[in-house]
Amino acid sequence: MFNHDQNLWIHQAQLLEENGILRPYNIGIKAGKITTITTEDDRHEYTHILDANGWILLPGVIDPQVHFREPGLEHKEDLSTASHACARGGVTSFLEMPNTRPLTTNQATLDDKLQRAAQKSLVNYGFFIGATRDNLAAINQVSPTCGIKVFMGAMHGDLLIDDAEYLERIFATGDRLIAVHAENQQRIHQRRAQLADRYHLPEIHSEIQDEQAALQATALAVHLAIKYQRRLHILHLSTALEVEFLRQHKRPWITAEVTPQHLLLHRSAYHQLGALAQMNPPLRTPHDNQVLWQGLKEGIIDFMATDHAPHTLAEKARPYPESPSGMPGVETLLPVMLTQAKAGQCTLNQVVNWLSTNVAAAYGIANKGKIAPGYDADLVLVDWEHYHPVRREDLQTKCGWSPFEGWELTGWPQVTIVGGQIVYNQGQFNEQARGKALQFLADTIYTNPT
């Protein structure tokens, strides 16, 4: 069921060709790398054979925005439960955010996370460094990191950077990637005061943290990125207004992402899900869903992320605004998107680009995001024939719920492979397997191929 030597022959998997056609191939893996893709039968050269059963083989998903809560908030999630959820969801690498306890804001807290992940994570890992008011030198020196995370709003405490002058200093200093949570904190304060009398239902969340709050912050970040020619990534775009703004102002060194919930859920979700639908930035309207899809297909939005942000059901049951914002996502991202592809909303090649290839290119993660000789064997075999519902009892995330519960999905991962090792095989986990720390190439110039 599992191989422990990173040597593997995958027999008769369906591989996706560039023209979108699926054809059966055999894949040879040695020392964790893809060595051959062939129609010949060379399985005698390999110690472990995996029959692919006609399933489709895709590059492992790279989820570039997750909150895995360790250290300090392990009652919501930890690196073991989160990485089990990744393995079940076909996510072979993740980039994790700094709002843990302590915050990840210097080399010592980054090293601590790397050490914890080395001990616990079934899949590969990278971490953002969080900008505060007093760590300008550290955010440009720590290593390895995928980039600097800046919360422009919707955050409290040391990670909130809501002062435009200091934000400009961050853009003016250094050259590594800056990823922004773009919501304008002043606007949120104003809206909160204006809407105070209606302040008890989670629906109000989308009106307090409204479209203008998102647009204003995105516009400011883009302005600074152009002024300083600084590599900028805009996290979880949520509005049609931002897509239209980026259509005019985007530059080759600016990228953006969208979550499946912002593509597929809208404000009406509050009626069914209550505070489970509450996240930052909030859910919007069907029109926003549609323009975000369009932006993704046009390449204005470069790739996808889950913003996996688990909170317990007890925490979510608190009355608004004490209910925390965020929803889990790593184990539903791939089947949600493959179900969209099956329904004709997008192509399989687009899903691969949005979930793997473009993410690796944008973050300068070498040898990942594609199935080709010499690439790391981070792979997922999916069943794109049968449909199964998202069920609470199957979830690996510690929070134990999903906004997609009850959705009938296809494309569920059957086998997930990290560095040539099988880590998940039809409901079973390889508890001995461990992922590796990701390395990020400096100065990656990324141009969306779409």
Residues designated as active site: 307
Q: What DSSP line would sit under 123-191, residue for residue?
A: SEEEEEEE--TT-HHHHHH-SS-SEEEEE-SS--GGGB---HHHHHHHHHS--S-EEEE---HHHHHHH
Q: Least Å distance between CB 99 and ligand DOR?
A: 5
Structure token digits, residue 340 = 């969209």
Q: Least Å distance between CB 43 and ligand DOR?
A: 45
Q: Answer yes or no whether residue 306 interacts with ligand DOR by CB under 6 A.
A: no
Encoded one letter per residue, x for contact with ligand DOR by CB under 6 A and - for no contact, window 222-261 reads ----------------------------------------
The correct pick among 116, 149, 181, 308 for binding ligand DOR (CB under 6 A) is: 181
Window of 49-57, 79-87, 283-291, 321-329 that interacts with ligand DOR by CB under 6 A: 321-329
Match 């899949």 to its residue by tokens.
123
CA distance 195 to 155: 19
Q: Least Å distance between CB 200 and ligand DOR?
A: 19
Q: Answer yes or no whether residue 113 interacts with ligand DOR by CB under 6 A.
A: no
Q: Answer yes or no whether residue 262 interacts with ligand DOR by CB under 6 A.
A: no
Structure token digits, residue 250 = 């985007």
Q: Answer yes or no whether residue 316 interacts with ligand DOR by CB under 6 A.
A: no
Smaller CB separation from ligand DOR, 30 or 181: 181
The correct pick among 60, 130, 202, 326 for binding ligand DOR (CB under 6 A) is: 326
Q: Answer yes or no whether residue 328 interacts with ligand DOR by CB under 6 A.
A: no
Which residues fall within 8 angstroms of residue 103, CB to CB, at 6 or more apart? 109, 130, 132, 157, 158, 159
The correct pick among 243, 279, 361, 417 for binding ligand DOR (CB under 6 A) is: 279
Q: Least Å distance between CB 103 and ligand DOR?
A: 11
CB 176 within 8 A of CB 444: no
Instruction: Report, in angstroms and rounded to the nearest whole number, the Rg of the chain calculated over CA atoms.
Output: 21
Q: Least Å distance between CB 86 and ligand DOR?
A: 17
CA distance 246 to 256: 9
DSSP-assigned letter for residue 420: T
The correct pick among 309, 334, 359, 362 for binding ligand DOR (CB under 6 A) is: 309
CA distance 341 to 322: 37
**Residues contributing to the site for ligand DOR (CB under 6 A):** 67, 99, 181, 279-280, 307, 309, 324-326
